[in-house]
Homo-oligomer: A and B are copies of this chain.
Amino acid sequence: MTIPRLLVVDDDTELREMLTKYFQGQGFAVCPAATGAEISAAMERYRIDLILLDVMLGDESGLELCAQLRTEQDVPIIMVSALSSDNQRMQGYAAGADDYVAKPFNPDLLAARVKAVLRRGNRAASLTYRRSAGTYRFEGWSLDARTGEVRAPGGYLVSLSRREGALLKALLANPMIPLKREEIAEALDPDRDPQRVMDAAEGRAIDVLVGRLRGKLEANPKDPKLIRTERGVGYVLACEVTQE
* Complex A-B, nearest 4 residue pairs according to Cβ-Cβ distance, in ascending order: A103-B104, A104-B105, A104-B104, A82-B107
CB-contact partner of A15 in B87, B104, B176, under 8 A: B104
Residue-wise, chain A 225-244 has the 8 Å CB interface mask toward B (1 for contact) of 00000010000000000000
Closest to A177 in B: B85
Inter-subunit contact B18/A56 (CB<8 Å):
yes
Q: Does A160 contact B (CB under 8 A)?
A: no
Q: Is the interface of A mostly helix, strand, loop or mixed?
A: loop
Inter-subunit contact B14/A82 (CB<8 Å):
yes
Measured CA separation A213–B108 after assembly (Å): 37
Complex interface: chain B residues within 8 A of A85 (CB): 108, 176-177
* Contact A15 to B18, CB < 8 A, known contacts A82-B106, A83-B107: no
Measured CA separation A162–B230 after assembly (Å): 10
Q: A102-B106, A104-B106 are in contact. List 7 more A-B contacts (CB 8 A).
A: A12-B14, A14-B58, A82-B105, A85-B176, A85-B177, A103-B105, A103-B106
Complex interface: chain B residues within 8 A of A177 (CB): 85
